Amino acid sequence: MTTPDPAAEAAPKKSKKKLLIVVVLVLVLAAGGYWMFLRPKPAEAAEPEPGEVLTMEPIQVNLAGEHYLRVGIALQATADVAHEPDGSKALDATIETFSGKPIKEVNDPKKRHELKKHLEKELDHLYHGDVMGVYFTEFVTQ
């Protein structure tokens, strides 16, 4: 009678483990490749059609250091808006955005652009997507 060799019995178990690891690795890589390259892309949100532009009277905003800003804005509404947006929300958001800012920050084109983007984001929230942009019609500091 021959005794079974323990090394011979361990070899099939080891090769099955290696095979299982390789199969799992290939499946993970295939899933990752599908996710990155072949998955269906979500439909791009259609850019809203521009509608009417509501021009508002300029307002004065107190800046830091006894300076002030005279700013006029116009709201670009979307085409599917049934009625003209109420401008009071936009004026309030403009005051909140610029009030108390240093004059250097307001006059710096890069910072002013950031403030405008912040205002647009706030208006999008306040008007529930009915306003798609804001334009400065007047911008004077003193």
The confidence score (pLDDT) of residue 44 equals: 60
Q: What integer pLDDT is reported at residue 11 of this predicted model?
A: 56
Query: Percent helix, strand and coil across the chain, each rounded to 5?
Result: 45, 25, 30
Residue 114 is predicted with a pLDDT of 95
pLDDT tens, residue order, the chain (142 aa) = 555 555 555 556 667 888 888 888 888 888 888 877 777 766 566 778 888 999 999 999 999 999 999 999 999 998 888 788 888 999 999 999 999 999 999 999 999 999 999 999 999 999 988 998 999 999 999 9
Same domain assignment for residues 97 and 130? yes
pTM equals 0.65
Q: Are 137 and 76 in contact (CB under 8 A)?
A: no
Burial category of 25 from C-beta neighbours within 10 Å (exposed 0-12, middle 13-18, buried 19 and up):
exposed
Q: What is the CATH number of the domain that holds 134?
A: 3.30.479.30
Q: What is the pLDDT of residue 79?
A: 87
Residue ranges making up the domain that contains 127: 50-141
Looking at the fold, whether 33 and 60 belong to one and the same domain comes out as no
The predicted pLDDT at position 18 comes to 86
Nearest to 59 by CA among 75, 72, 78: 72
| Residues 16 and 62 placed together within one structural domain of the fold | no
Question: Cα–Cα distances in Å, from 85 out to 8, 54, 57, 91, 93?
Answer: 82, 8, 14, 12, 14
